Amino acid sequence: MNPVEVVENVYWVGAVDWNLRDFHGYETRRGTTYNAYLIVDEKKALVDTVKHPFRGMLVDRIRKVTNLEDINYIIINHIEKDHSSSLPYIMQQAQKATIVTTERGKEGLTKYYGEHGWNFLTVKTGDELNLGNKTLKFVEAPMLHWPDSMFTYLQEDSVLMPNDAFGQHLASSQRFDDEIDWDVLMDEAAKYYANILMPMASLIVRKIEELRDLGLKPKIIAPSHGIIWRSSPEKIVSLYLEWSKGEAEKAAVIVYDTMWGSTEKMAYEIAEAIGRSGVKVKLFRLHVSDKAEIMKEILNAKAVIIGSPTINNSMFLTVSAFLTYVIGLRPREKVWATFGSYGWGGGAVRKINKLLEEARFEVIEPSVQAQYAPTEDDLQRCRELGGKIAEMIKSK
């Protein structure tokens, strides 16, 4: 296990998790990485650790550069266990190390791992740590991704280590953006933003402005997951600004499930009408689709249309689960519409509308509902709904 030099005397010492397929509910079809960085100076600092099962890889890579016993600081940018769960193991060997983290980080690490008598140095935005020739500057970043989160900036080399921000769940033998298929990288960066960071959109805009106000101009952005941005870090920063402001393509996404084919027939009819109007549309049946992929498409769309059959006076379980997921992620600047089928009392569409309205999403009326199987009149109403959505998208 070899380290990879990021800049002189700064090494990637993380781990590649090729087989991860689920990250707390987010389908990670291309695996992920847990990135940790070792800075070698008069004092030595390790920035973040890795998920516990990968601790051996971390230690192997560190030992190619230095002894663990010689590490002076372990910077914990974020306590979530994919980054911190090797800390107790590392601290058994790096016994003279001081853990550098935020106040919330110290509190969370103690609650996760107990009292060990570890030395802590808690830091706030603007605090600096001199390692000899290199200086670390810290920027608190609460809720990007958890309340404890912070960014670490290596001043002399202009390397930003923002932990979860700007990451991707993407396993690769390459470490840098100029070494990898750019389409795959962009696909995974968008999917990661949509499934992890989208609820914090306004915080992201403010944090990027704060970095500029602090005079930080990263030449390299080295996140804690995926590929390191070194060829054009400004590209991912400007994409984060666009996504966070709700900028999207003139496109629609239809998300539905079906019991006996009626709701599916309506979904196809709505999709046809949108497509005929010259607006791009993608259709996902939840039973066979990844939520994470759908969220990426919603990020890039201006309209979302949700469909469900009625079962037990309510919506399908897959639709209910998806609504819980999508409402939690709070996509911005979308219009929403609903449709569905029922046998007798109905209930699915009414309940979907209620959830969307409670989330303060803009819902286009009227919804389209069909009893048992859609009639020609019902299908005409689907076409009209599709046409109306297409016109709204074009005007936005």
Tell whether residue 44 is a contact of ligand FEO (CB under 6 A): no
Q: Of 145 and 282, which CB lies nearer to ligand FEO in the complex structure?
A: 145
The one among 61, 78, 134, 296 contacting ligand FEO by CB under 6 A: 78
Please check whether residue 266 is in contact with residue 305, taking contact to mean a CB–CB distance below 8 angstroms: no
- Residue from 44, 55, 61, 83 that binds ligand FEO (CB under 6 A)? 83
Q: Which part of the chain contacts ligand FEO (CB under 6 A), choosing from 74-82, 180-188, 271-279, 304-312?
A: 74-82
Residues 158-187 that bind ligand FEO (CB under 6 A): 164
Q: Are 348 and 338 in contact (CB under 8 A)?
A: no
User: Is the Cβ of residue 79 or residue 337 nearer to ligand FEO in the bound state?
Assistant: 79
User: Least distance (Å) from ligand FEO to the CB of residue 144?
Assistant: 9
Query: Which lies closer to ligand FEO via its Cβ, residue 34 or residue 339?
Result: 34
Structure tokens at 316: 């399908």
Task: State the catalytic residue, choosing from 82, 177, 269, 297.
Answer: 82
d(CA 391, CA 38): 53
Question: Exactly one of 17, 140, 164, 297 is catalytic; which is it?
Answer: 164
Cα–Cα distances in Å, from 377 out to 260, 266, 368?
Answer: 19, 11, 11
Choice between 17 and 82, CB closer to ligand FEO: 82
User: Is 225 among the residues known to form the active site?
Assistant: yes
Q: Please give the Cα distance from 371 to 284 (Å, whole number).
A: 22
Residue range at the interface with ligand FEO (CB under 6 A); choices 76-84, 176-184, 206-214, 305-313: 76-84
Please choose, out of 60-68, 75-83, 109-117, 268-276, the segment that lies near ligand FEO by the rule CB under 6 A: 75-83
Active site residue 82: yes
The answer to whether 365 is a known catalytic residue is no
Please say which residue, 44 or 83, places its beta carbon nearer to ligand FEO.
Answer: 83
Indicate which single residue of 17, 48, 82, 378 sits in contact with ligand FEO (rule: CB under 6 A).
82
Q: Does 145 bind ligand FEO (CB under 6 A)?
A: yes
Among the listed residues 17, 48, 80, 257, the single catalytic one is 80
Sheet of 10-12, strands arranged across? 4-7, 10-12, 37-40, 44-47, 73-75, 98-101, 119-122
We find the least distance from the C-beta atom of residue 200 to ligand FEO, in angstroms, to be 11
Is residue 80 part of the annotated active site? The answer reads: yes
> Is residue 289 within the footprint of ligand FEO (CB under 6 A)?
no
Least Cβ distance, residue 265 to ligand FEO (angstroms): 41
The answer to whether residue 145 is catalytic is yes
The token pair that represents 226 in the structure block: 């995926």
Instruction: Name the one range near ligand FEO by CB under 6 A: 78-86, 198-206, 261-269, 292-300.
Output: 78-86
**Interaction of residue 188 with ligand FEO, rule CB under 6 A:** no
For the range 107-110, what are the long-range contacts, defined as Cβ-Cβ under 8 Å and sequence gap of 24 or more? 107/148, 108/79, 108/146, 108/148, 109/76, 109/79, 109/84
By the rule CB under 6 A, 80 interacts with ligand FEO: yes
Length of the chain: 396
Interface region with ligand FEO, contact rule CB under 6 A, candidates 77-85, 120-128, 152-160, 256-264? 77-85
Q: Which of 26, 192, 193, 342 is catalytic?
A: 192
CB of 230 to ligand FEO, least distance (A): 20
Number of residues that bind ligand FEO (CB under 6 A): 9
78 given a catalytic annotation: yes
Interface contacts to ligand FEO, rule CB under 6 A: 78, 80, 82-83, 145-146, 164, 224-225
Residues acting as catalytic residues: 24, 78, 80, 82, 145, 164, 192, 225
